[in-house]
Each structure stands twice: as structure tokens, then as C-alpha cells.
Homo-oligomer: A and B are copies of this chain.
Amino acid sequence: MVTLYDVAREAGVSTATVSRVIHGQDRVRDATRLRVNEVIERLGYVPDGAAQSLSRRRKEVIGFVCVESRARQYEVENMNLLYYDEVMRGVGAGVSDSGWSLLITYLNGENGQNFARLRNLSGKVDGMLIGHAVVPSSLLARLTERVPVVVIAGAPGETTVDVVTADNRSGSAALVAHLIEVHGRRRFYHVDGPAHLADLRERRLGLERVISAHPGCRVIGSYVGELSVQSGVEAGESLLASHGTSLPDAVVAANDQMAIGVLRALSEAGVGVPDDVALVGFDDIYPGCLSDPPLTTVHQPMRRLGERACIRLMDRMIRPGLRPRAEVLPVELVLRSSCGCPPGTAMRLPVKPVRGSRFGSTKSGAADPGKPNGAAGSACAAGPRRGSRSRPTETIES
């Protein structure tokens, strides 16, 4: 292996000088610089990362922890795992802009060795990015003692750790407001997921707030599923069983998989979507744009989530003193036709944050929670009304 010493000797200078040349520092005579560079090139010298890290007391590596999935590729159920890949791309972009590296660790769900692995990881990185719920918060706390940690897609209320997440609450609110204000829906059925999940809690809150702000609107029933297509089917069946005689006019599902399941159950029973019942999901998984009717849903900026998380982590590494903040990124309303918009509709509308959906964030656009997204609400039916400034929309599917 060619070392700095080899280069120094060969070029007839000291290691300090070689180091200076490598890092493009000043105080090196041009002639010297040239000579050193020539030797570096000739010898094919590449600095040893470990030695650099040790000497600088900084590894310039950040760790990214994901959940391992042995699931079959493209299983609808696991579509949202794909989001991790997207988040990772964002992180990758953020990281490499600064010349740092990204160290990946896949954790397998149940494993008791996970903490040992994370602990160990903490000795190899300067900071870590962890997906929400990937690591129990008890372990999180212990990790935080060692290295800065930023949680991605966690609960915005978290106080002990930095969080970068999407505005689930406003997304959900926008969806419901759209159903009410544009499509005149009043009687809602809520297909919810496990109670403890932070993002679902936000979505639930968004739904409830908008409903209660609209007199005459109400939730006539709900079902707690497990986020799978199958459990969506069951939700649909349960809905038909208990409300078959007086159907709701809209179903709001906690995620796209369940919405797809509901759609199946309703179609099976001959209930028309959106004519009899409007239906919306959440997440914007790929199959949603291919269902019949295509699914109206909310899209989270996964890539930006990764980028921001990365920037936040860097920031924290520079200033460890900062107290933990949550950063809530805006989502997009994805209008297709399951909500009642005309067939062929395909637009994305930025969702403005409703009050209370952002924590610690500065310029929150704080709209009235009752009418969370006037622009988005109106855009579909017949173009923007009242000259509202809905931004130009774009088509999604290619």
C-alpha cells in the first residue's frame, strides 16, 4: 500500500507538505506542489480513510438505519418499504454534497441483537439517521448519548430527538376538505390503522378537525385495520355489513393498501366508486394510480425528507447544543378519480400546513383548520374559482 510517507520520500518533502498539497492548502510553493502531485499520480496514492478519520477525530460518515425486508419485491403490501429507498436517495444526495459517506445498516425486525449492532454502528459514524419506529425509543435514548440522531418520519411531538417528518395532519385534512367542499360528501367512514403509530395519529387528527369544523358532516363508522390490502377488504365488508342500508358517501383510509382493499370489497358488492361512495387513501403507492378508479391520495416528499434529515444531522453535529426540533415537510394532494373528480384527473396540489401541524417550524402558513386548503379544494371541479392562486398543476402518470 502506498502511504503518505512513500509520497513524501519520493518527492523529497515532509509528510506535512504532502498533506498540505492534498488538501489544497496555501503555503506551498507551486514547484513543490507540482512535484508532489506528480508523485501522487505516479504512485497512485490514495489517502487511507481510517487513518484520516482517526487523526481528524471525525469519520465523515453518517449511518442510515433501515428495516430489512425479505418480502417479495413488488408485493403490494410492502410497497411502502420502497419509500425507504427513496428516502435513502435523498440522504445520499445530501451526504455526498458535503463529501461525506453513507453507511447503511439493515435491521431485521424482531432481532434482539439489533441494539448491539446499532451500538457498534455508533462507533463507525459521526451521526445516525433512523426511520421512525425502526428502533424502540428506549434504545433511541441510549443511542443519542453516543451520537447525534435524527429520526425520519417520526412523531412531530418528540422531545428528546430531532425529527424530520411529513405533514400527515394537513394532508389528511386537505383530503377530507376536498371531499366535503368539492364533492359535497357528508357521511364519512374511517378505515384507520393501529392506534400507536405516530403518523396515523396525525392523519386521524386531520380528519377529525375538518369534520368537526363542518357542521353536518360526521363520521358514521370506523374500522381499525392493520394497513394491509386484506384488512382493507375486511374493512369494506364490515362497512357493508353494518351500513349496507345507508352507505356513507365517503371512505377515508389510513393508507393506500387499505383503500385498495376497500375498493375491492365495494366493487365486489357492486357499490360504485366514486359514484356511490368516494374513496381516498394515503401514501401514493404505485398501484394506486393503476386501480379502477385511480386512487386519490396524499404524497409525501420522501426524497426531501431524506435530504432535510441529512442537513439537520449535519447541523446538529456542528452545534450539539441545539435542542431537538421537529421539521414538518409539506405534502401534496394527489387528485385522481376515486374521490369523485372526473375520470382522467391527475394532478398534484401542494398542501398548505394547517394550524398546529408544524412544530418549531417558522413560517407556518397557518390557515383556518376548518378550511385547510381552499385552493386544493376547488381546483378539481372546474378549475380555480374566485381567482384563487392555485399553482399550475402537473400531470403525474407518464
- Which interface residue of A47, A54, A119, A303 has the most chain B CB atoms within 10 A? A54
Name A56-77 residues within 8 Å CB distance of B.
59, 61, 68-69, 73-77
Question: Does A50 have its Cβ within 8 Å of any Cβ on chain B?
Answer: yes
Question: Does A51 have its Cβ within 8 Å of any Cβ on chain B?
Answer: yes
Contact segment of A28-36, A89-97, A314-322 = A89-97
Tell me, in angstroms, the Cα distance from A106 to B69 when the chains sit together. 22
Q: Which chain B positions have C-beta within 8 A of A61? A: 103
Contact segment of A120-128, A150-158, A336-344 = A120-128
Question: Does A229 have its Cβ within 8 Å of any Cβ on chain B?
Answer: yes
Are B47 and A145 in contact, with the CB atoms below 8 A?
no
Chain A interface size, under 10 / 10 to 19 / 20 to 34 / 35 or more: 35 or more
Tell me, in angstroms, the Cα distance from A286 to B73 when the chains sit together. 9
Tell me, in angstroms, the Cα distance from A286 to B146 when the chains sit together. 41
Tell me, in angstroms, the Cα distance from A388 to B157 when the chains sit together. 62
A302 and chain B: residue at smallest CB distance:
B73
Question: Does A101 have its Cβ within 8 Å of any Cβ on chain B?
Answer: yes
Are B92 and A104 in contact, with the CB atoms below 8 A?
yes
Encoded as 1 (CB less than 8 Å from any B CB) or 0, chain A from 107 to 147 comes to 00000000001011111110000000000000000100110
Q: Which chain B positions have C-beta within 8 A of A289? A: 74
Question: Does A10 have its Cβ within 8 Å of any Cβ on chain B?
Answer: no
Q: Which chain B positions have C-beta within 8 A of A89? A: 68-69, 106
Tell me, in angstroms, the Cα distance from A12 to B353 when the chains sit together. 58
Question: Does A244 have its Cβ within 8 Å of any Cβ on chain B?
Answer: no
Tell me, in angstroms, the Cα distance from A52 to B54 when the chains sit together. 9
A51 and chain B: residue at smallest CB distance:
B54
Are A73 and B53 in contact, with the CB atoms below 8 A?
no
Question: Does A24 have its Cβ within 8 Å of any Cβ on chain B?
Answer: no
> Shortest CB–CB separation between residue A332 and chain B, in angstroms?
12
Tell me, in angstroms, the Cα distance from A69 to B93 when the chains sit together. 10
Q: Which chain B positions have C-beta within 8 A of A47? A: 120, 123
A303 and chain B: residue at smallest CB distance:
B73
Q: Which of B44, B85, B124, B229 contacts A101 (CB 8 A)?
A: B124
Are B398 and A77 in contact, with the CB atoms below 8 A?
yes
Known: A96-B106, A290-B290. A59 touches B68 (CB 8 A): no
Q: Which chain B positions have C-beta within 8 A of A50? A: 49-51, 53-54, 59, 124
Q: Which of B53, B82, B124, B145 contacts A85 (CB 8 A)?
A: B82
Known: A49-B59, A229-B398, A398-B77. A106 touches B82 (CB 8 A): no
Question: Does A287 have its Cβ within 8 Å of any Cβ on chain B?
Answer: yes
Tell me, in angstroms, the Cα distance from A41 to B218 when the chains sit together. 54
A77 and chain B: residue at smallest CB distance:
B398
Name A144-198 residues within 8 Å CB distance of B.
145-146
Question: Does A86 have its Cβ within 8 Å of any Cβ on chain B?
Answer: yes
**Given A44-B146, A53-B53, 14 extra CB contacts under 8 A:** A44-B145, A46-B119, A46-B122, A48-B123, A49-B53, A49-B125, A50-B51, A51-B54, A61-B103, A68-B89, A68-B92, A69-B89, A92-B106, A286-B286
11 chain-A/chain-B pairs, Cβ below 8 angstroms: A49-B53, A49-B123, A50-B51, A50-B54, A53-B53, A68-B93, A69-B89, A73-B303, A76-B398, A101-B105, A103-B104
3 nearest A-B pairs in the assembled complex, by CB-CB distance: A49-B124, A50-B53, A85-B85
